Chain A
């Protein structure tokens, strides 16, 4: 009854759709259609090659190194994001694969975070990964811990962990802000192998300089499919490439169009109008 009331209210009110957001809706619908097609259409899911991503190839090496050195592996999603952020979800997806391997190799996994919700989800993700690997007894809940919601208290706390535990490998994957370089340089100072990735273009430059491997841009979002080899996830990664080609095509057309407009009219103002 309540649902019918909502539908009736929406249908009778012409202001239910924000016309200013129509271009965004059209772009979103096109993007979603391409993603759904590549993910669910059988021929589209078959036979395509995913290029090698050095940072993801190094994941095994990083875990192996920590195991051989009998030192822990530290994984942190940064201070900037919460669980609603796709970057955090992508980071937790990758955490599951890392945790499965640390469980098999009996390597200690330490996961400090600034957000209690992320901590709860990460505990479940890691616990399930350890069960899946067949070693539930190796799971240590206390190693997936909440440090502080304050940015520099979190940075100081994780820095302290890095200095005292001396992890052999450090994964900095998620949303980072000013703490990125503090953590990366501390990790570098103890000689840890570091794999980093973030959605912040400013912090990316710090990671590129301070870390051994960096996932740039969409590579972080492709990590889960790359590591698991799941065809459905990889197919959606392929959709990203198709969308990039579409965007590039639009950019080239727009550039040519505005240039022609400039040459003929002497101005680029209103070049997209006929």
Chain B
């Protein structure tokens, strides 16, 4: 029974959201806005569940001695940041902002910077010319790479044009084909969920 209610609610909201998209009427806009507001409320409550889960998970594993240093650090961050914000606020010159700018931002930048090394290692594996398609991929990648570097001038004047052609024609054609597939896949998945054909997200069953 509870599953049927969920399917009916999903169907009703699916139809309403589909219909409101094709209307410029203020009523349709307000329906859209109201549902978006409710979504924020649902998210806020779910965030409490997520945060409680995060806390209990880490506390349990600290107690069991699993990955203790990492978990203690995560818990410290979880406690320190709100405490700093509540005592001194979050404006410029406060300890909260200092920790944010000098700890959190550099840590995020560090993780992002890993990407440069991973791109290099992944490219090294991916561009090995073991077959004809891999050789074509390698050639295209080299042309794009050189056309974007300072070496373009001395090497040739036509290289940027070739690179532009590769990006605008074969590359874009492949990208659009994939995007059409993704669009159709999204449409059918949404319709399956709205019509209750696909109920795996509810745990399956009929």
> Which of A10, A152, A206 has the most B CB atoms < 10 Å from its CB?
A152
Point out the residue from B50, B184, B205 that lies within 8 Å of A116, measured CB to CB: B50
Bound complex: CA A210 to CA B201 (Å):
29
Query: Could you give, for residues 43-77 of chain B, a 1 whenever the CB lies within 8 Å of some chain A CB and a 0 otherwise?
Result: 10011111101101100100000010010000000
Decide: A146 and B51 in contact? CB cutoff 8 A: yes
Q: Does A90 sit within 8 A of B, measured CB to CB?
A: yes
Task: Give the contacting residue for B185; candidates A115, A120, A156, A217; CB below 8 A.
Answer: A217
Q: Is B92 an interface residue (CB 8 A)?
A: no
B5 in the interface, Cβ–Cβ < 8 Å? no
User: Contacts of B178 on A, CB cut-off 8 Å?
Assistant: 201, 204, 216-217
Query: Which A residues between 122 and 148 are near B, CB-CB below 8 angstroms?
Result: 124-125, 127-129, 131-132, 141-142, 145-147
Q: Which residues of chain B come closer than 8 Å to A216, judged between CB atoms?
A: 178, 181
- B121 → A minimal CB distance (Å): 6
Question: Is A104 located at the chain interface by the 8 A CB criterion?
Answer: no
A13 nearest in chain B by CB position = B25
**Which of A56-64, A69-77, A220-228, A259-267 forms part of the interface with chain B?**
A220-228
Within 8 A of B (CB), among A12-58: 13, 15-18, 21, 24-25, 28, 31-32, 35-36, 39
Q: Does B27 contact A (CB under 8 A)?
A: yes
Chain B 174-190 per-residue mask, 1 if CB under 8 angstroms from chain A, else 0: 01011111101111111
* B-side contacts of A86, CB under 8 Å: 185-187, 189-190, 193
Number of A residues, CB within 8 Å of B: 83
CB pair B186–A87 under 8 Å, yes or no, is yes
A232 touching B197 in the complex, CB below 8 Å, given contacts A89-B189, A209-B122: yes
Query: Chain A: residues with CB nearer than 8 A to chain B?
Result: 6, 9-10, 13, 15-18, 21, 24-25, 28, 31-32, 35-36, 39, 84, 86-87, 89-90, 92-93, 96-97, 115-117, 119-121, 124-125, 127-129, 131-132, 141-142, 145-147, 150-153, 155-156, 159-160, 164, 178, 181-182, 184-185, 188, 199, 201, 204, 206, 208-210, 216-218, 220-222, 224, 228, 232-233, 236-237, 239-240, 243-244, 247
> What are 24 residue pairs bridging A and B, where the CB atoms are less than 8 Å apart in the complex?
A16-B23, A16-B28, A18-B22, A32-B187, A86-B186, A86-B187, A89-B190, A92-B200, A96-B203, A116-B46, A128-B204, A145-B54, A152-B108, A152-B112, A153-B111, A160-B70, A164-B70, A199-B185, A201-B179, A210-B122, A216-B181, A217-B185, A239-B188, A244-B184
